[in-house]
Structures are given as C-alpha cells and as structure tokens.
C-alpha cells in the first residue's frame, strides 16, 4: 500500500464513566452514573494553604460537585470555578 496523500490522525475524544459521590466536597452525591467528557471538567481550588487545584465535575442531576483523580495530562479542562458558577446560574433560572 502507498499513501498518496497523508491524512490527519483522528483523536478519540476522552471520556470516562464515574459515579456522583460528592468526593472532596462534603460527599452526599446522588449516586448517578455519569459519562463525562473533557468539556465537563473544570478546576476548583482546595481551601487550604497550598491552593491545590482539583479536576471537578458538577452532577446534572443533583448539582453536587465531585473531585476526580488520575486524569491524563492531555485532557483539556476549563480554566476555573467560573464554569461551575455559570452552570449554577443556568440551573437556578430553569427552576
């Protein structure tokens, strides 16, 4: 086989199935099984002296935040807490 014209390699979008636990945010998640993708992730900052950033998702069922771990470095995350705040504003308008 000969390549006549090189193509672009396809990148599979990153996703993972997780359970809403509320881990890192007081627990109390609803237990919903969620398929999350890169666009669902954002950073939150722990309130200790180290200002450690966590990869976090917001459950669409109960609005509880869950911190995640062991994510690939190449996964794109939103810049910060403002994404969660924007999501909350949309959810409160609907009610």
Domain that holds residue 59: 16-94
| Domains of the chain: total | 1
pLDDT more than 70, % of the chain: 73
Q: Residue 64: is its pLDDT beyond 90?
A: yes
Query: CB-based contacts of 29: which residues, under 8 Å, 6+ apart?
Result: 19, 20, 21, 22, 23, 59, 62, 64, 66
Q: What's the whole-number mean pLDDT along residues 19-35? A: 93
Q: Residue 29: is its pLDDT beyond 60?
A: yes
Q: Is residue 2 part of a domain?
A: no
Q: How confident is the model at residue 71 (pLDDT cuts 50, 70, 90)?
A: confident
Do 86 and 78 contact (CB within 8 A), yes or no? no
Q: Residue 43: is its pLDDT beyond 90?
A: no
Q: Is residue 9 part of a domain?
A: no
Single pTM value for the model: 0.67
Do 27 and 34 contact (CB within 8 A), yes or no? no
């Amino acid at each position: 086989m000969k390549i006549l014209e090189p193509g672009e390699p396809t990148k599979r979008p990153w996703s993972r199935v997780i359970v809403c636990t509320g881990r890192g945010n007081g627990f109390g998640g609803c237990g919903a099984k969620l398929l999350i993708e890169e666009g669902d992730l954002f950073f939150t900052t722990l309130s200790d002296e180290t200002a450690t950033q966590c990869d976090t998702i917001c459950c669409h069922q109960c609005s509880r935040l869950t911190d995640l771990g062991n994510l690939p470095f190449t996964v794109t995350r939103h810049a910060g807490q403002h994404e969660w705040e924007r999501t909350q504003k949309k959810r409160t308008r609907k009610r």
